[in-house]
Amino acid sequence: MRIVFMGTPEFAVPCLSALIEKHDVLAVFTQPDKPKGRKQILTPPPVKEEALKHNIPVYQPKTLKDGEAFKLLSEIKPDVIIVVAYGKILPKEILELPRYGCINVHASLLPKYRGAAPIQWSIIDGEKETGVTAMQMDIGLDTGDMIKSASLTIGENETADELHDRLSALGAKLIIETLESVEDGTATLTKQDDSLSNYASMLSKDISPIDFTQSAQAVHNKIRGLNSWPSATAIMDGKRIKIHKTKLADACGQAGEIVSLEPFIVACGSGAIEILELQPEGKKKMNVADFLRGHKIELHSFLK
């Protein structure tokens, strides 16, 4: 099939790579390069880097609403537009342009977790299962008819970063299977039940602070879900730390109390967590053993 691919972050790269192997990817649309790091070096999106490796033309319009993108796509004449974490809303005229319309790969089992951060919120909310869904796009936000989905089990200690990589690979497999069914006419469309939807809002640092009065499971889920950005945070000995990895522990105490140093266990509203990896402010992430060698922490002191 003649394909135009629209995507931006690392999550979208496996889908693009799989499509390049199986189909004729005519062009890639992605977000403009952005400054990154302390030196604010202008950096291309991962999808752009992958496209250029295969000498595929790359377009980075600031908007799709001025008619220029529609004109260009009309000249390219794709059979289908595949959209994976592009970050822009497609106008109705573009949605209706290709023969097979526009197909989106979304990182949840729709209609659950529509929106910007489905991977993270599925972990924060304590879901045991998630997946990817290929849907026929419409003018709504992740509301189009579902074509095909694939699921997986979320590990009890799995972080958002780890789940991201597994779902990304699953999405690449799914889009190839989806296009096969679309091309041979066996694809079936299923409408989403809006009553079952919940919105996975964009993450921000405002939700980083940990509430240790919550259950150990809720605290553990939040730490996993916010790994590696924006990261869950706490105050230890008057200084902010990021907590990256934990597991549930069999201990009790007051909420936030450090009840053991080896292993490093903190009590919650009910139950406790063992901290495995953390990051002092202004320093690199490290395992707890390395942290304790350089910091004197009092037993029965509190994280806040």
Q: What is the pLDDT of residue 217?
A: 98
> Residue for token digits 């990182």?
107
Q: What is the pLDDT of residue 39?
A: 87
Q: How far apart are CA 194 and CA 179, in angstroms?
A: 25
Q: What is the pLDDT of residue 109?
A: 98
Reported in sequence order, the residue ranges of the chain that DSSP labels E, i.e. its strands, are: 2-7, 24-29, 34-36, 41-43, 58-59, 80-84, 102-106, 114-115, 129-136, 146-153, 199-200, 232-236, 239-249, 258-260, 265-267, 272-280, 286-287
Q: Taking Cα atoms as reference points, which of 115, 137, 135 lies closest to residue 64?
A: 137
Model confidence, pTM: 0.95
Q: How far apart are CA 68 and CA 71, in angstroms?
A: 5
Q: Taking Cα atoms as reference points, which of 100, 129, 147 lies closest to residue 3?
A: 100
CB 32, CB 62: distance < 8 Å:
yes
pLDDT in tens, the chain (304 residues): 999 999 999 999 999 999 999 999 999 999 999 998 888 999 999 999 999 999 999 999 999 999 999 999 999 999 999 999 999 999 999 999 999 999 999 999 999 999 999 999 999 999 999 999 999 999 999 999 999 999 999 999 999 999 999 999 999 999 999 999 999 999 999 999 999 999 999 999 999 999 999 999 999 999 999 999 999 999 999 999 999 999 999 999 999 999 999 999 999 999 999 999 999 999 999 999 999 998 899 999 999 9
Q: Taking Cα atoms as reference points, which of 132, 133, 126 lies closest to residue 155?
A: 126
